[in-house]
Amino acid sequence: MDAEITIIGAGVIGLAIAEKVSESNNNVFLLEKHLKFGQEISSRNSEVIHAGIYYPKGSLKAKLCVEGKRLLYDYCKKFDIPYYNCGKLIVATSEEELSIIEAIRQTAIDNGVDDLIVVEKEEIAVMEPNIFALRALFSPSTGIVDSHSLMKQYETNTINNGGQIVYSSEVIAIKKVNGGYEITLSYADNKEYTFSTRAVINSAGLTSDRISEMAGMQDDNLKILFCKGEYFRLKTPKNKLISRLIYPVPVHNLEGIGIHVTIDLGGGVKLGPDVTYLQSNIYDYTVDPLKQEAFFRSARKFLPFLEFDDITPESAGIRPKIQKPGDPVRDYYIMEESRRGCPGFINLIGMESPGLTSSIAIAQYVREIVDNTF
Ligand SMILES: Cc1cc2nc3c(=O)[nH]c(=O)nc-3n(C[C@H](O)[C@H](O)[C@H](O)COP(=O)(O)OP(=O)(O)OC[C@H]3O[C@@H](n4cnc5c(N)ncnc54)[C@H](O)[C@@H]3O)c2cc1C
């Protein structure tokens, strides 16, 4: 075999896996179709270090988020990655939402997040004097991180471990052969190159379902649906009126967690993302200016100072959803595929939020599969 382990996709998850797997394996390759890392989901998100509050008990999303948050804070300290443990308030703005606050606290406790604090109106007025809330849950372990610096560090450590990262190389075919797989790449000016590898790790984000299909695994239950999240920016100087993340209580099936307010390390404030399933899987990063009214109305419930013209269209990201609209929440699909006739092939599909937060924990999880399989 030309390669031992081939990882497809240099987003935050593929890079974290490459770093972890190259610590104990030689001949590790990471393939990426773009010129550099993180050009798709990983550079179009909220950069929030999630606490692990909402996800169903026992799910991979819950487990890997809670574990990943701790590992991520440690990693940021160790490698000087910019981050800010600013905390977050989940706010109830109506009587009906008060009971949801208690339900969220219970889910969080089930997930091992036991540091949430219920804060009443008077305390909220001290913490965030410019917002409106009847009651809130404060999550002290939530934060934000510079995802670009994080990915750069994963890349550097992979290279230092002896791993090889190959950019501008798109995987276009995968064939099962004796003892592994043959992978065909398309690179500069549509030239093709085929090599063999003992194992494949598919972390191709928005097209991870197609990579799995290339290896012969068809599964309608794992089809990715592109689900856009649009953001609006809060203009200066009103961005200075907020000092931590402010979230409304989430919708019931976690398609999204409501139009919320995130701050970034540069002091900017964003509203969003909303949730729009796209009609087809196209890379549509436009922000619809007509949504300004809906964003304004949603955020105004807890930002009483907000006026219509205070926000402006910003950016959009696309979630790799395997959960169909209206369906109950789906967990990550992380699987070594021997049972589907593809030994040594590890699929990661549906790696939506909190994938950034969980990246190191996901990488450890995958490395355990690798260690136990080979
Ligand atoms: C709007 C939004 C907000 C979010 N907010 C947060 C948040 O605040 N906190 C959090 O923890 N998570 C958040 N997430 C989730 C997080 O961003 C993702 O879980 C994570 O970035 C997924 O990383 P990835 O490596 O799987 O995907 P990607 O970053 O998309 O990487 C996959 C890579 O595979 C490459 N690729 C695909 N096909 C091929 C091929 N055939 N050959 C070679 N390369 C290929 C792509 O070019 C891409 O670079 C958010 C996501 C969205 C969309």
The pLDDT assigned to 188 comes to: 82
Mutate to test the pocket of ligand 1, among 42, 168, 323 (most ligand atoms within 8 A of CB): 42
The answer to whether the CB of 259 is under 6 A from ligand 1 is no
The pLDDT assigned to 252 comes to: 59
User: Residue whose CA is closest, atom 25 of ligand 1?
Assistant: 11
The answer to whether the CB of 170 is under 6 A from ligand 1 is yes
The pLDDT assigned to 374 comes to: 77
The pLDDT assigned to 347 comes to: 98
The pLDDT assigned to 373 comes to: 86
* Atom number in ligand 1 closest to CA 318: 53
Residue 53 near residue 344, CB atoms below 8 Å = no
The answer to whether the CB of 350 is under 6 A from ligand 1 is no
The answer to whether the CB of 352 is under 6 A from ligand 1 is yes
Cα 292 to ligand 1 centroid, rounded to whole Å = 26
Cα 319 to ligand 1 centroid, rounded to whole Å = 8
The pLDDT assigned to 257 comes to: 59
Q: What is the SS3 assignment for the chain?
A: CCEEEEEECCCHHHHHHHHHHHHHCCCEEEECCCCCCCCCHHHCCCCEECCCCCCCCCCHHHHHHHHHHHHHHHHHHHHCCCEECCCEEEEECCHHHHHHHHHHHHHHHHCCCCCCEEEEHHHHHHHCCCCCCCEEEEECCCEEECHHHHHHHHHHHHHHCCCEEECCCEEEEEEEECCEEEEEEEEHHHEEEEEEEEEEEECCHHHHHHHHHHCCCCCHHHCCEEEEEEEEEECCCHHHHCCCEEEECCCCCCCCCCCCEEECCCCCEEECCCCEECCCCCCCCCCCHHHHHHHHHHHHCCCCCCCHHHEEEEEEEEEEECCCCCCCCCCCEEEEHHHHCCCCEEEEECCCCCHHHHHHHHHHHHHHHHHHHC
Pull the structure tokens for residue 178: 């004796």
User: Residue whose CA is closest, atom 19 of ligand 1?
Assistant: 355
Q: What is the pTM of this model?
A: 0.97
User: Residue whose CA is closest, atom 37 of ligand 1?
Assistant: 204
The answer to whether the CB of 354 is under 6 A from ligand 1 is yes
Q: In the chain, which residues have pLDDT < 50?
A: 254
The answer to whether the CB of 13 is under 6 A from ligand 1 is yes
The pLDDT assigned to 190 comes to: 87
Round to whole Å and give the CA distance between 333 and 43.
22
